[in-house]
Chain A
Amino acid sequence: MTRTDTPAAGAQPLLELTDLHVYYGNIEALKGVSLTVGRGEVVTLIGSNGAGKSTTLRAISGTHKPRSGTIKFEGREIQHLPAHEVVTFGIAHSPEGRKVFSRMTVFENLQMGAFSRREKIDDDITRVFDLFPRLRERRSQKAGTMSGGEQQMLAMGRALMAHPTILLLDEPSMGLSPILTEQIFKIIAEINEQGTTVLLVEQNALMALHAAHRGYVIQTGKILLADTAANLAANEQVRQAYLGEI
Chain B
Amino acid sequence: MDPLMRRAIITGLLGGAAVIHIGLIGMIDAFQSRDTIADVLTLGALLPILIALLIGWRSGGPMRAPHIIPTGRRAVALGALGGGTTGLVITALALFTTTIDVRWILSNASPSLAEELWYGQGAALGSVLVIVVSAAAGAAGAALHVIPGTIARALTVGGITAILVALMEPFVVAVLRNIGLRFLEGIFYAQGGLTLIGFVLVFAITAAGTYAWATRGRETKQRVAAMPPDRRRTGKLVVYFVLTAFLLVLPQIVGSRLSEVVGTVGLYILLGLGLNIVVGFAGLLDLGYVAFYAVGAYTTAVLTSAASPAFSPELPFFGALPFVIVAAMLIGLMVGTPVLRLRGDYLAIVTLGFGEIARILFLSAWAQPLVGGAQGILSVPPPIPFGRDPQSIYYPILFFCILAAVAARSLQGSRVGRAWNAMREDESVAEATGINTVTYKLLAFGLGAAFGCISGALFATKIGTVFPVSFDLLVSINALALIILGGMGNIAGVIVGALVLVGLPELLREFSEFRLLIYGMVLVTMMLLRPEGLLPSRSRRAELHEREDAEDQYEDEAGEETGQPVVTT
A48 at the interface (CB under 8 A from B): no
B contact residues around A103 at 8 Å (CB): 425, 539, 542-543
B contact residues around A83 at 8 Å (CB): 428, 431-432
Contact A115 B542 (CB under 8 A): no
A-B contact pairs, 28 of them (CB 8 A): A62-B431, A83-B428, A83-B431, A83-B432, A84-B433, A84-B436, A93-B432, A99-B428, A99-B429, A101-B425, A101-B429, A104-B421, A105-B563, A105-B564, A108-B418, A112-B418, A112-B422, A113-B433, A115-B419, A115-B422, A115-B434, A116-B433, A139-B564, A141-B567, A141-B568, A141-B569, A142-B542, A145-B568
- Interface residue ranges of A116-145 to B (CB < 8 Å): 116, 138-142, 145
B contact residues around A105 at 8 Å (CB): 563-564, 566
Q: Which of B426, B436, B539, B565 contacts A140 (CB 8 A)?
A: B565
A contact residues around B542 at 8 Å (CB): 103, 142
A contact residues around B434 at 8 Å (CB): 84, 87-88, 115-116, 162
Q: How far is the CB of B545 from chain A (nearest CB, A)?
A: 13
Closest to B426 in A: A99
Contact B429 A95 (CB under 8 A): yes
B437 at the interface (CB under 8 A from A): yes
B contact residues around A95 at 8 Å (CB): 428-429, 432
Which of B433, B434, B437 neighbours the largest number of chain A CB atoms within 10 Å of its CB?
Answer: B433
- Interface residue ranges of B410-441 to A (CB < 8 Å): 415, 418-419, 421-422, 425-426, 428-437
Contact A63 B432 (CB under 8 A): yes
Q: Which of B433, B543, B564, B567 contacts A115 (CB 8 A)?
A: B433
Q: Which of A87, A115, A139 contacts B418 (CB 8 A)?
A: A115
Q: Which of B425, B432, B566, B568 contacts A61 (CB 8 A)?
A: B432
Q: Mark B529-569, 1 if CB is under 8 A from A, else 0.
A: 00000000001001100000000000000000001111111
Closest to A140 in B: B564
A contact residues around B430 at 8 Å (CB): 112
B contact residues around A107 at 8 Å (CB): 564
Q: Which size bracket describes the interface of A in this complex?
A: 20 to 34
A contact residues around B543 at 8 Å (CB): 103
A175 at the interface (CB under 8 A from B): no
A213 at the interface (CB under 8 A from B): no
A82 at the interface (CB under 8 A from B): yes
A158 at the interface (CB under 8 A from B): yes
Contact B433 A140 (CB under 8 A): no
Given known contacts A83-B432, A84-B437, A142-B542, A101 and B421 CB-to-CB distance under 8 angstroms: yes
Q: Mark A211-242, 1 if CB is under 8 A from B, else 0.
A: 00000000000000000000000000000000
A36 at the interface (CB under 8 A from B): no
A102 at the interface (CB under 8 A from B): yes
Residues of A within 8 A of B (CB): 61-63, 82-84, 87-88, 92-93, 95, 99, 101-105, 107-108, 111-113, 115-116, 138-142, 145, 158, 162
Given known contacts A104-B421, A112-B418, A140 and B431 CB-to-CB distance under 8 angstroms: no
CA distance A115 to B440 in the complex (A): 13
Closest to B422 in A: A112
B contact residues around A140 at 8 Å (CB): 563-567
CA distance A102 to B421 in the complex (A): 11
Residues of B within 8 A of A (CB): 415, 418-419, 421-422, 425-426, 428-437, 539, 542-543, 563-569
Q: How far is the CB of A95 from chain B (nearest CB, A)?
A: 6
Q: Which of B418, B426, B431 contacts A111 (CB 8 A)?
A: B418
Contact A87 B433 (CB under 8 A): yes
Closest to A168 in B: B432
Contact B432 A87 (CB under 8 A): yes
Q: How far is the CB of A169 from chain B (nearest CB, A)?
A: 13
Q: How far is the CB of A117 from chain B (nearest CB, A)?
A: 8
Which of A61, A83, A107 neighbours the largest number of chain B CB atoms within 10 Å of its CB?
Answer: A83
Q: Which of A84, A104, A139 contacts B431 (CB 8 A)?
A: A84
B contact residues around A138 at 8 Å (CB): 567
Q: How far is the CB of A14 from chain B (nearest CB, A)?
A: 19
B contact residues around A82 at 8 Å (CB): 431, 436
Closest to B421 in A: A104
CA distance A102 to B566 in the complex (A): 13
Closest to B543 in A: A103
Contact B566 A142 (CB under 8 A): yes
CA distance A88 to B431 in the complex (A): 11
Q: Which of B418, B428, B567 contacts A63 (CB 8 A)?
A: B428
Contact B563 A101 (CB under 8 A): no
Contact A141 B566 (CB under 8 A): yes
A contact residues around B429 at 8 Å (CB): 95, 99, 101
Q: How far is the CB of B535 from chain A (nearest CB, A)?
A: 18
B contact residues around A87 at 8 Å (CB): 432-434
CA distance A55 to B543 in the complex (A): 32
Closest to A94 in B: B432
CA distance A104 to B425 in the complex (A): 9
Closest to B425 in A: A101
Contact B431 A145 (CB under 8 A): no
A contact residues around B565 at 8 Å (CB): 140
A contact residues around B415 at 8 Å (CB): 115
CA distance A93 to B428 in the complex (A): 11
CA distance A112 to B569 in the complex (A): 23
B contact residues around A145 at 8 Å (CB): 568-569
CA distance A133 to B422 in the complex (A): 24
Closest to B437 in A: A84
Closest to A111 in B: B418
B contact residues around A141 at 8 Å (CB): 566-569
CA distance A81 to B563 in the complex (A): 34
CA distance A62 to B434 in the complex (A): 11
Q: How far is the CB of B539 from chain A (nearest CB, A)?
A: 4
16 further A-B pairs in the complex, CB-CB below 8 A; given A139-B564, A142-B542: A62-B431, A84-B435, A84-B436, A87-B433, A87-B434, A93-B432, A99-B426, A99-B428, A102-B425, A103-B542, A105-B563, A108-B418, A116-B433, A142-B566, A142-B568, A162-B433
Closest to A116 in B: B434
Contact A158 B566 (CB under 8 A): no
CA distance A145 to B553 in the complex (A): 14
Which of B434, B542, B563, B564 neighbours the largest number of chain A CB atoms within 10 Å of its CB?
Answer: B434
A contact residues around B563 at 8 Å (CB): 105, 108, 140
CA distance A14 to B567 in the complex (A): 42
Q: How far is the CB of A66 from chain B (nearest CB, A)?
A: 16
Closest to B568 in A: A145
Q: How far is the CB of A83 from chain B (nearest CB, A)?
A: 4
CA distance A143 to B408 in the complex (A): 25
Q: How far is the CB of B260 from chain A (nearest CB, A)?
A: 40
Closest to B564 in A: A140
CA distance A140 to B550 in the complex (A): 13
CA distance A61 to B567 in the complex (A): 33
Q: How far is the CB of A139 from chain B (nearest CB, A)?
A: 8
A contact residues around B539 at 8 Å (CB): 103-104, 142
* Closest A-B pairs by Cβ, 6 of them: A116-B434, A140-B564, A83-B431, A87-B434, A103-B539, A101-B425
Closest to B542 in A: A142
Q: How far is the CB of A75 from chain B (nearest CB, A)?
A: 22
A contact residues around B435 at 8 Å (CB): 84, 115
